[in-house]
Each structure stands twice: as C-alpha cells, then as structure tokens.
Structure 1
C-alpha cells in the first residue's frame, strides 16, 4: 500500500471526525475527541490507545495529540503523578502511528525497536481533576528507505501539557515486511517451544508494585539478580499475541529492578532502553542490576539494568530516580 493511500485514509478519517466536532445550531457545542484507530498504534484494545490526533507540520515534523487517563490498570499513579512509563508508551505509539499514516508502512509489517527513552519533569505530571491532555512535537530523522518502502527512522519528541514540557524522549525502529520478518525469525520460530512455566513473583512491595500480577521479576537467591517473569496472560504487557517479550515489559523490568536495588520507590526521572535482540518467550531471561558509581551526589540515583538469554545480551537500560529526602 502506498504512502498516498494512507494519507487519503487519514484525510477521510479526519473528515469523518470533523462531523462531530461541533454540536447544536450554528456549531456552538463543545469539541469532541476520539482516539486514533487502534491498528495504527499496534493495540488490540481501544482502551489502550493513548493518541487522539496527528498532523504534519513539516517534511519530517509532526504534531500529535494524546490523552492520559487519571487512572490506569497498569501504568498506575505514583505519589500523585502520572506514571513516566505511560509517557514512554505514548512515545512508542507515536512511531507506529506516523510510520503507518505518513510514511506508508502497511499494517501487516513488523517493527523492530532498537531503542526507546523518556525523561520527565515531575512538576508537570501531577494527576489533575481531569485526564491529562498532551501535545507531542515530533521530529523524524535518519529516515531510511528500501526502494519505495520505509526501512526505518529515528524520532525525537517533546511532550507538552498546557504548554509546559512534561517529558522528552525518542526512539529508533526498523520496519520489515511479513516475508522479511519470517525469514529473519524462521530459524528461531521453527525451534520455538511453549512459553516457560510462570515463575513466582518477587514480593510486590520490594519492586514498587501492589499486585503480584504486575510483578515481572522472580527471585533467584542472588542479590541484584532475577529471572524475568513472563506472564503472557497479562492484559497490558501482552495486550495482543506476540512471538517475543515486548520492549515495554523489559523497561518495566528495569524499573522494578531499580526499585529493588535502591530500596525505595519513586517515579523514574529518566529511563533509557537499548534492545540488542529479541527476548524469547521459551528461554529464561536473567536480569542483573547495579547502582552506577557517583549517582546520588546530585539528588539523583541511577541504576544500570541488563538482560541476558543463553549468555547473549538482550537489552540494556539505565533508570534514574530522585534520591529520597529526609
């Protein structure tokens, strides 16, 4: 499907929504908001779609609108603040949305995420009496094409709430056709067995969680080491069937390992993630964390979290949290 086809679909979608932007005689009613189609952001549930609109502002510049609920089943509020990882998920969705709607990537193509990062300003993440409305400025660069099909790009974002910067971040991804993806994954998928049996969770209070269902780490008996706890029935982390561990789950593992390492829970100020290879569902993934030297001297503490499968690196993440006061 060509890029122009998606742009026509986008224009049609916007025109259909425009019918509902006013109400009453003379169009004096309130504007109404809908989410973007869930297929554009790789979600199965409309409830998990965070983006509401988008438009092109330059050759590779875009403006995207988003909304965060006051409460979420997984991205729960922390100390009265929106979860910084809901900002990371919003940034992830931005890349998929623009790839499909503005760069013509067909909906059946696969995305390979290489990195994802977010840094937040807590003062502008406070939960208010209404859902948070966000404006996301997006700049795409390093745009690569394979003949007339997008091969991949990097994008940077600035997330504003009420005109004030609430978060910044970015990501890099590659695109693969179903045929290419099958070729890349053929050996692995042919040998793939059933997912590992579900392991016991670390105590929720030790990783900043309330429900054991949301814990993604299992104890190994060694300090600073865990096994990734992969529950493919989780309604958010495994919101739809996939053949590997989602990147957002690996970032959640990094966040939980950081809380366990530092011994206190606080909203992360910054999370960076680099993904070297797919984390497979049928192989134990070992998570290791270490407090970075020199952290804590400027009111912030940082932890390096890594994941390995069969001795090979899977991902690396650095999580920074505010040091406790008092």
Structure 2
C-alpha cells in the first residue's frame, strides 16, 4: 500500500490562481491574481504572481513591463466588484479614467516568479437601490516588500439592459467581428518595444506622430474573449507603443500614464493614435475616430539605469 505522509501539512500553504471568471478571462494562463482579502472601510489586499517571462507583457532591460502591473489592476476591478461589491456576472465594467506610475528601480525581474501584493482602497463608492454603481479604486503595489507602483481607476458598473441601450445596435460581438476592419501592415516590433510581430498594435506609417490602430481580434491576450468595441487594455497598449514609436532612441520605459476614456473605439472604422510632445519626457497621446477624441493621455517616459547581467533577458529582434 502506498502511504502518503501528511502530518503537519498546512493546506493554506497551497497557492493557485483565482477563478478566471472573477477576472473576466477565458484562458487560465492569463490569470495573474492568486488571492484576496477584504478588510473594513473598503480596504482590500490582492495577491498576484507574475511570471518571469510573459508572451505579451515581456520584460525589458531585466525589468517587468509596467503593463503587467496595469493588467493586474485591470483584473482587480472585476475581482473585487464581484466578490466585495455584489456585481452580478454578465454586467459590464466601464472605465472613465485611469492612471498609473511605477518606480523602475523596484521592478527588476527576480530569479523566480514574483509575488506581488496590491493594497487597494476604494473611495466614492456609489450605490443605487442597493446595487453598486461606480467607485474610485486606488492601488499600491509592492514587490518583495518594496513599493513598486501606484494606480487609480474610476469605473462604473452597468447592467446588461442599460449597456444595450448605451451601445445601441453595436452591442453584438459576433456582428462586430463580421464587420471589423482588416489588419493594416504593422510597424516593426522593435520600433514599439516588442519582439513579436503579432504583438504590434500600430500600423506602419510615413509619419512619426500618427498611426492607425491595429485590432487583431484573434490576439490571445488582448482579445481573450469576444467584445463589441476595442478593449481598454488594447488602447493603453497603443498609447505605450506610440510613445516608443515617437521616440525610438529616447524612450526606455513608459513609467506613467494619466488617461481619460471619452468614447468607445469601434472596430469597424479606422482609429488613429496621435502623439504630440509636452516638454521634457512628457507626451500627449490621443486616440481619435471619426473626428472625435475617444481617449486622451499624458505619458511620462524614463530611461532607467541599466541593471547587470543583461543576457538574462532576450534582445529585441
């Protein structure tokens, strides 16, 4: 008989990802969050584990991609909405504005997968008839006990019936997919800080201050599930890539963004990502469609001090 010794084994030491439904992902591999604790006064602790290498949010100059932090915050929104604020599955969470800032010196990739702690404080929590309507979520991230970054998101919860009224005849992902624009030719991956062509979300252009948005509806990360408009993470990635494309020799890391979402970006008409300098390391980036500004962002870029042993991270190709 096979005997397995379990004396003294603590089941609480086991770790796993949270259910993918709680973070609005279909692929288990894309779930970054591993657990959460809700405290009093709208305070929460969320735990995440970051892989040393991710196929899309891959490390640069031996530092984690700031967008990996952004995606962790993005996953925290539905996680806490469902578990702490009673939002039913099937509702829609809509971003109004989002900002983040990271500290490059605290983002070095360790020798093993990184355990990240997100301290979350929710403010201006609004309800109507007992149902959650909107809030502002402040997040502070720590990696190995060191403060790594902060983020603030203002977002709203919309029931399916209200969302259908807001979207009109554009709320069917299948119909949107059937009329989506074909993909225009991509910029070189190295020009936007990537190494794989299918991760490029900007189209090739003769200009250095404007590119067409590329929305690949088959992308396994950005389009993990069917949607009826360009998802927020695609738009934020387009902002990041535009900063790299505009200053290919000067941009090291996009260490901060302050973004306002004004309109949905539709998938059946061209959208343009436009860049203008703000002075110093700052950029003003907008995403425009049909002569309307859909998103406006102020971006900060930084060239971090190089870390030793650069051979640990693949070079751009």
TM-score, scaled to structure 2: 0.89
Specify the alignment match of 1:24 in structure 2.
Answer: 6
1:324: how far off? Answer: 7.7
Alignment coverage as a number of residue pairs: 298
Aligned to 2:51: 69
CA contact (8 A) 1:50 1:66 kept: yes
> Could you tell me which of 141, 150, 153 is aligned with 1:171?
153
Distance 1:280 1:143 in 2: 29
Q: How does 1:124-273 map to 2 (within 5 A)?
A: 124-189=106-171, 194-264=179-249, 265-273=251-259
CA separation in 2, counterparts of 1:250 and 1:50?
Answer: 20
- In the TM superposition, residue 205 of structure 1 has moved relative to its aligned partner by 1.8
Query: What is the rounded CA distance, in whole Å, between the counterparts of 2:29 and 2:227 in structure 1?
Result: 19
RMSD of the alignment, in Å? Answer: 1.9
User: In the alignment, is residue 96 of structure 1 matched against residue 78 of structure 2?
Assistant: yes
TM-score (norm 1): 0.87
* Partner residue in 2 for 1:11: none
Q: Contact 1:88–1:116 (CA<8 Å) still a contact in 2?
A: no
Match of 1:80 among 59, 62, 77: 62
Contact 1:271 1:318 (C-alpha < 8 Å) held by counterparts? yes
* C-alpha deviation, 1:30, in angstroms: 8.3
Secondary structure of residue in 1 paired with 2:16: coil
Q: 1:30 to 1:103 in 2, by over 3 A?
A: closer
Q: Which runs of 5+ in 1 are unaligned?
A: 1-22, 296-300
Distance 1:223 1:94 in 2: 35
Q: Indicate if the aligned counterparts of 1:219 and 1:225 stay in contact, CA closer than 8 A.
A: no
Aligned counterpart, 1:55: 37
Match of residue 290 from structure 1: 276
CA distance in structure 2 between the aligned counterparts of 1:254 and 1:267, rounded to whole angstroms = 12
SS at match of 1:27: coil
CA distance in 2, matches of 1:270, 1:106: 32
Question: How far off is 1:40 after superposition?
Answer: 0.8
The runs of 5 or more residues in structure 2 that have no matched partner are: 307-317
Report the secondary structure of 2:29's partner residue: helix
